[in-house]
Amino acid sequence: MSDLHAATDDMVLDERVRGFPPGHPQLPLAAVGAQGWKPYDGRMALPLISLDRQAFAGNVDLMMAYVKSHGAEIAPHAKTPMSTALAAALLAAGAWGTTVADIRQAAVMLKAGQRRLILANEIGGAAAARRLAALLGHYPDAELHVFVDSTPLVAALRSAWQERADLPPLGLLVEFGAGRAGLRSTDAAAAVLDAILAVETPAFRLTGIAAYEGAAATANAEETMLRIDALMAMTSDFLPKIRARIGKERPLLLTSGGSVFFDVVVARLSAAVAADPACRLVLRSGAIFFHDHGIYERGLAGLDARGGLRIGDKTVSAAAGFRPALRVWAEVLSRPEPQLAISGMGMRDVAMDQGLPRPLALYRNGAYLGNFESAEVFRLNDQHAFITLADDSDVAVGDVIEFGISHPCTCLDRHAILYGLDPDHSVTAAYLTSFG
């Protein structure tokens, strides 16, 4: 993929942003990568979050190769980093478009110059439809496709589009679902389809079918696959039903695919898309580009158990191919007991909904001391991590711990800046996030 460039925003950073060295003169965002900082050299304020740029680039290359080898497209979900710079990098690497989760996220991406979006969620009712219309009135060249799973939402959107003549075309994606939003039967979907087709205009029309398989997952792997298979079957079976109503020529999207079961989506939906030359399969995986040391590590082990990544005539290991790109860095604040260290990182800094952070490496006085995976985080509170140590550990107050994280989506949203690191762990870029 092409090199990642830091955001060119003229935002100026100072000590109000995590990681920025105390007492350092304020800097434009684009200048951060030229300072030679390292998260463990004592200059940067900790805790902070970083992106391994080499690992990220490798993940992008692998995922794009996989998608293209199956004749599919991808609109990476921007909710994971909410970074316009990283979303733009994915587009430059070959992404078809960008996925967002709500109207505000759509506004962020549109303002950054992106014009092809999937809004992978229902937006609400009449007031939300008017808000979406108010936004798109400023972007007449936008291409936006929105999920719908009810006739009231169709009516609300249609009313908002009827009120204005300055809006770009709006694409409607009939959503099937299991475990979250989405229609639960083809009969229910047929009613929504009827509602759309009854009021279609060139600026307000059906553009495809959507689903999200990740919400169908349960703690039981066998049950999970049965639920996903049923959802994918219902989704793909609806495509010819739509074709019978609208004809063969209209371009349509068939979109699904998070970061754990995207291989199942490709396997289950590819035949339906191959039988429909005017239909495009679009995955929406986003966290896969960042990977982690928790939920997605486990998810990719499961993908390998299903047969691995098929790319052309080769099968490769997803667990070996994708690399965790995110780290959180924090100092040891206290050694109150022989087998206990307390570091300055807590629930305000790192995700814990899908597993606790994992100690990876230890640094002292700006130097790497070695692997630290024998330690274990067993509890977090607001600003502290409680770490169990081996009996012979010589961890000292002031040492810096490099942590792996679990679930990028609920970790990155705690940080305004993501520091991009090169292989020697030097900060060479800074990416502004826009979580609001």
How confident is the model at residue 85, as a pLDDT? 97
Token readout for 232 is 């994918």
Which residues are paired to 100 by β-bridges?
Answer: 119
User: What average pLDDT score do residues 98-125 get?
Assistant: 98
User: What average pLDDT score do residues 292-305 get?
Assistant: 97
For 346-397, the pLDDT digits (tens) are 999 999 999 999 999 999 999 999 999 999 999 999 999 999 999 889 999 9
Residue found by looking up tokens 């990719």 in the block: 300
In terms of Cα–Cα distance, which of 262, 362, 267, 333 is closest to 302?
262
Helical (H) or strand (E) element with 205: strand 204-211
How confident is the model at residue 229, as a pLDDT? 97
pLDDT at position 433 over 90: yes
In terms of Cα–Cα distance, which of 311, 240, 315 is closest to 279?
240
In terms of Cα–Cα distance, which of 131, 126, 104, 127 is closest to 117?
104
Three-class secondary structure assignment of 369-434: EEECCCCEEEEECCCCEEEECCCCCCCCCCCEEEEECCCHHHCHHHCCEEEEECCCCCEEEEEECC
How confident is the model at residue 9, as a pLDDT? 54
How confident is the model at residue 11, as a pLDDT? 87
Position with higher pLDDT, 90 vs 4:
90
What mean pLDDT is reported for the chain? 96
Query: How far is it, in rounded angstroms, from Cα 388 to Cα 261?
Result: 34
pLDDT at position 3 over 70: no
Q: Are 356 and 406 in contact (CB under 8 A)?
A: yes
Integer angstrom CA distances of residue 248 from 273, 279, 411: 12, 9, 44
Tell me if the bond preceding 47 is cis, omega within 30° of 0: yes
**pLDDT category of residue 170 using cuts at 50, 70 and 90:** very high
**Strand, helix or coil for residue 237:** helix
- Per DSSP, helices labelled H in 112-210 are 126-136, 151-162, 186-199
Query: How far is it, in rounded angstroms, from Cα 73 to Cα 70?
Result: 9
Query: How far is it, in rounded angstroms, from Cα 134 to Cα 119?
Result: 15
User: What average pLDDT score do residues 77-86 get?
Assistant: 97
CA-CA-CA-CA dihedral for 269, 270, 276, 277, to nearest 10 = 140
User: What average pLDDT score do residues 315-333 get?
Assistant: 98
CB neighbours of residue 215 within 10 Å: 16
In terms of Cα–Cα distance, which of 352, 393, 351 is closest to 372?
393
Share of the chain above pLDDT 90, in %: 97
> Is the overall model pTM greater than 0.75, yes or no?
yes
pLDDT at position 5 over 60: no
**pLDDT category of residue 52 using cuts at 50, 70 and 90:** very high
User: What average pLDDT score do residues 301-319 get?
Assistant: 97
Which residues are paired to 429 by β-bridges?
Answer: 420
Name residue 385's amino acid.
A
Query: How far is it, in rounded angstroms, from Cα 78 to Cα 383?
Result: 27
**pLDDT category of residue 6 using cuts at 50, 70 and 90:** very low
Quote the Cα angle for 108-87-50, to 5°: 105
Residue found by looking up tokens 């997605």 in the block: 296
Give the pairing type, strands 367-371 and 358-364. Answer: antiparallel
Quote the Cα angle for 238-74-141, to 5°: 90
Rg (the chain; Cα; Å): 23
**pLDDT category of residue 436 using cuts at 50, 70 and 90:** confident
Token readout for 308 is 């691995």
Exposure string of 69-107, with b = 16+ CB inside 10 Å and e = fewer, is: ebebbbbbbbbbbbbbbbbbbbbebbbbbbbbbbbebbb
pLDDT at position 272 over 50: yes
Half-sphere exposure of 171 (CA within 13 A, CB side): 21
User: What average pLDDT score do residues 40-44 get?
Assistant: 97
Handedness of CA 246, 247, 248, 249 (dihedral sign): negative
In terms of Cα–Cα distance, which of 49, 3, 14, 8 is closest to 30?
8
For 201-224, the pLDDT digits (tens) are 999 999 999 999 999 999 999 999
In terms of Cα–Cα distance, which of 400, 378, 383, 375 is closest to 345?
383
Give residue 126's Cα distance to chain centre: 28
Integer angstrom CA distances of residue 269 from 236, 284, 309, 340, 380: 6, 14, 16, 50, 41
Residue found by looking up tokens 């979406």 in the block: 132
